[in-house]
Amino acid sequence: MFASLSNHRHCLVFHAHFSPMSISYISPLLLPNPRHNLPFTSSLLSSSQSLPLSSLNSSCFRSVSRLPAKIRKPITPFCSPDPNCMMESEGADHVLSQEWVSHARAYWVEKFLIAWDINDDQASLYLYSSINANLSLSDQGIEGYDFKIALEPDACGLPVTVTQKFPHISSYQAFRVPSSTNVEELLKCQLAVASYNVDGTLKTCTGLQLPGVLDDMFAYSGSLGATFTKETISLNLWAPTAQEVTVCFYEGPTGDPKEHVKMEEINGVWSTVGPRDWEGRYYTYEITVFHPSTSRVEKCQANDPYARGLSSDGKRTWLVDIRSEELKPNGWDGLANEKPHLGSFADISIYELHIRDFSASDSTVDPDFRGRYRAFTCKDSAGIKHLRKLSEAGLSHVHLLPSYQFGGVDDNSSNWSHPADYTVLAALPPDSDEQQAQITAIQDKDGYNWGYNPVLWGVPKGSYATNPDGSSRILEFRQMIQALNRIGLRVVLDVVYNHLYASGPFDDCSVLDKIVPGYYLRRNKDGDIENSSCINNTASEHLMVERLILDDLLCWAVDYKVDGFRFDLMGHIMKHTMVKAKDMLQSLTKDKDGVDGSKIYLYGEGWDFGEVAKNQRGINASQFNISGTGIGSFNDRIRDAVLGGSPFGNPLQQGFVTGLSLEPNGYDQGGKSNTDIMLSGSADHIQVGLAGNLRDFVLICHRGEAMKGSELMTYGGDPIGYAKQPTETINYVSAHDNETLFDIISLKTPFELSIEDRCRMNHVASSIVALSQGIPFFHAGDELLRSKSLDRDSYNSGDWFNRLDFTYETNNWGVGLPPKEKNEHNWPLIKPRLANPSFKPNKSHILAALRNFTDLLKIRYSSPLFRLSSANSIQERVHFHNTGPLWVPGVIAMSIEDEHGGKPGISQLDPMYSFIVVVFNASPDVVSMEIPALKSKTLQLHPVQLNSADDFVKKAKYEAESGHFSIPERTTAVFVQWREFPV
């Protein structure tokens, strides 16, 4: 998801508006489930201790009442937070208060150490356990326990290792568990701690959160998942709180289990070994475990977290050796030697593409392959021809939106619903609400979703395969990677490790929370699941969560030869996890691993919000923290300065390219003097972005002062520049979230503006990204004036609103009012624009935009000066002119210097050009300006632009004698100084 912080308002927001959903609550039953009569023979304590029997349920996770965009799925409801809610325990004479049920406010942090925020030195504290989840509360205190263990205060407090891992509980008191306690088996129980007043009356009690002690005792580095030898297959599952685990084998993707194999546990890992002919079977794990969301011991059916294959319904793991020869396309093992050349990460440019968008509407693709992996193997399709065109111009990477197993789309296409008739939709008025009504009526039953609903991270999504059962999804995913590499494009996989689609013991899409309940998901101080990243936030600060992430990345890199990873909401992942991932991946070698890991690039969304903000859960991978690691993060500063406002403010707020101050659209942004200042401030922000968004880059700001990038502030008070190296900056102005570039320009610009002017603005915005230092990032279709009919959040808007047309006949503008749920509040702005035919580009506009875009790529890759790889090199070579209080509004002039004439301190990088000047004129007028520092240069218009089909840019002029530039309106002109004039 492309959530972001609104720097102008200094508040956290998601990529789209929240909407309430109704929740009905379930009352957890607290007596043992009669189905679960489990043996428990091991002694929890040494025989020298004589203790009464007792214990409490752990936390009961609350359902969230709001869900951000991309996740539109009913959640299994949990306990009501209503303090008046009382729940009767089946067969008991007492009632249990909601306070008791819904919270886990104590933390078991090490084997013999518990942390609890309680400050009464006179209280007596006890730990309670019940193997069958019989804990209950009466007037006399806690009942139904098996064991009651006295806890002692630890005067030394929590150790540094604990407070560093869990900084949010650093002020808690520490309590010792007796060293004779059999903690291993106690952790398989329902647990609680309670404090008593000096007179023996119960003061307070709560459940426990267990990730700390599980990490302390059971962190594991051995084999997990399925391991294959010539004769055997072993299955290994990390589940230290499970009471029993059984493998259920199926002969096929449907039907009843044919065999049950009990697993044996050693140190929290459940294992079994079987014959090689297990291969090809389907299986699930049946885990008997106490689950805090129901306060019961449950039998959960779960997939293998290390699954590499799945059934078409996603409910069963397919036992497959993904390294078998039958699953490899021809030439697969040698693909590392065919990878497109990548000199350094500074040479990367990224094109963000959704797999289904790429071909679902492409009639030149085999109908069986449309919207699927195999569409990328159709060499003569319109889409492949388009990608090849971009590759030949210099584009290096395609970023694929999530393609792991996600929820929200049935893998079996025969189950999908479709609109009645697309021709009927096409005949409706462009501002009609009927199109969205028909699309949203089936949106949860069709084949479309962006895929930010993680179910299993390590399996390709079945709906993109021609056959979701068996080997197709593995083989065809590899064919896609191979096909893209062979047309010159490396592949980035969008990974979503910050949250899960489902939790609890019953949801078919819940996996990790069934296996070790309460461990994989991050919880707040009350024990409720954190939902700030969408829902079911994961906790990479827990060792086995981090390990699963690292193992998954390794699988995609080695077994699927993916060339890079984009991390969704990377700020919700710990920095140490990201650094370990980078070091692990970049250490891979062709000889040992079959891939060159030094070419694998990592980047993500470094937004700092929610429970992880300001390092509340440890040092997270936010924009500021990740600086210096070589991992990239998205630069929302340049986006907001170019377009205006933020994606979460008023859509009429204007920016540098959309007419701020120079072409007001009628929206009140504070009067002319205020908008002039805003425009000059936006230019400062953009210039920092053009210089790689480096924190130490020095420029002259609009006030005439020399300032570092980190000294210039957003309207919310955050530094503009934060990167230490240019390859840590991903510059962009549009992405899958929020409106497309063309659509947002159509909203922000004056209503009467011509379509030609809007197309010029689209080009100037793209040029700022394309010619910046750092790594440029483009949303698929930016180069085609792509429209989603002004939909600000098309994650589930179907093929109709997300259509990409590589025949260039249409940009998809005016296909109806966008879906009501996320856009209705803006329909009064949207409707008149869609209804006005002057807003719709024709094919000639689209082709011109494409030519201008490929020209930008060719210019970027014509000189290494546009792709400087170090901060020092940028500081000494990149300079900005037309700065300070006397600047010409709407114009940014940038020069990039190479060695020339024996200039000391600068080495030669470019064999052709010794000096480059780029002038971005976003104003509506031709600009004439003199830049004294650029007098006497032998500058010429770049040869790509001299030969361009764009008549505007050909009018750009430079006069050496005066340093005078004349730049047409809404034009980016590039001038070069040749070392030797071409013949």
For 713-749, write each residue's pLDDT tens digit: 998 899 999 999 999 999 999 999 999 999 999 999 9
Q: Which of 605, 739, 799, 805 is catalytic?
A: 605
Structural domains in the chain, CATH included, are 106-213 (2.60.40.1130), 218-323 (2.60.40.10), 634-785+841-978 (3.20.20.80)
For 402-418, write each residue's pLDDT tens digit: 999 999 999 999 999 99
The upper half-sphere exposure of residue 597, i.e. CA atoms within 13 Å in the direction of its Cβ, equals 19
256 sits in the region (left: phi over 0; alpha: psi -120 to 50; else beta) called beta
pLDDT at 953 over 90: yes
Record the pTM.
0.91
Contacts of 177 (CB under 8 A, 6+ apart): 111, 112, 113, 114, 127, 149, 151, 183
For 925-943, write each residue's pLDDT tens digit: 999 999 999 999 999 999 9
**For the ranges 73-77, 130-134, 306-310, 970-974, which has the lowest average pLDDT?**
73-77
Q: Across residues 23-50, what is the average pLDDT? A: 29
413 sits in the region (left: phi over 0; alpha: psi -120 to 50; else beta) called alpha
**Parallel, antiparallel, or unpaired: how do β-strands 264-266 and 269-275 relate?**
antiparallel
Q: Which of 304, 568, 596, 799 is catalytic?
A: 568
Crossing angle of helices 636-643 and 755-770, rounded to 10°:
160
DSSP 379: T
C-alpha triplet 853, 939, 758: angle, nearest 5°? 30
Contacts of 445 (CB under 8 A, 6+ apart): 410, 415, 416, 417
CB 159 within 8 A of CB 109: no
410 is catalytic: no
For 581-627, write each residue's pLDDT tens digit: 999 999 999 999 999 999 999 999 999 999 999 999 999 999 999 99
Of residues 826 and 138, more confidently modeled: 826
* The token pair that represents 510 in the structure block: 């819940």
Q: How many whole angstroms from its chain centre is CA 694?
A: 23
b/e code 32-48 from CB counts within 10 Å (16+ = b) = bbeebeeeeeeebbeee
**Parallel, antiparallel, or unpaired: how do β-strands 564-567 and 601-604 relate?**
parallel
Cα–Cα separations (whole angstroms), residue 737 to 354, 609, 646: 12, 18, 12
| CA separation for the pair 803, 398 (Å, rounded) | 18
**Parallel, antiparallel, or unpaired: how do β-strands 878-881 and 775-779 relate?**
unpaired
For 61-92, write each residue's pLDDT tens digit: 222 222 333 433 322 222 323 333 223 333 33
Q: Across residues 262-291, what is the average pLDDT? A: 97
Q: Across residues 501-522, what is the average pLDDT? A: 98
Please choose, from the candidates 189, 143, 187, 250, the residue with its C-alpha nearest in 3D space to the C-alpha of residue 36: 189
| CA separation for the pair 236, 228 (Å, rounded) | 12
568 is catalytic: yes
Cα–Cα separations (whole angstroms), residue 286 to 245, 248, 261, 509, 822: 6, 7, 10, 15, 40
Of residues 887 and 983, more confidently modeled: 887
Cα–Cα separations (whole angstroms), residue 759 to 446, 460, 908: 33, 38, 37
**Parallel, antiparallel, or unpaired: how do β-strands 350-353 and 775-779 relate?**
parallel
* The token pair that represents 791 in the structure block: 């939909």
Identity (one letter) of the amino acid at 624? F
CB 533 within 8 A of CB 499: yes
CB 232 within 8 A of CB 274: yes
CB 667 within 8 A of CB 653: yes
Q: How many CB atoms lie within 10 A of CB 828?
A: 8
Query: What per-residue confidence (pLDDT) applies to 982?
Result: 65
The average confidence (pLDDT) of the chain is 90
Query: What per-residue confidence (pLDDT) applies to 51?
Result: 31
CB 656 within 8 A of CB 686: yes
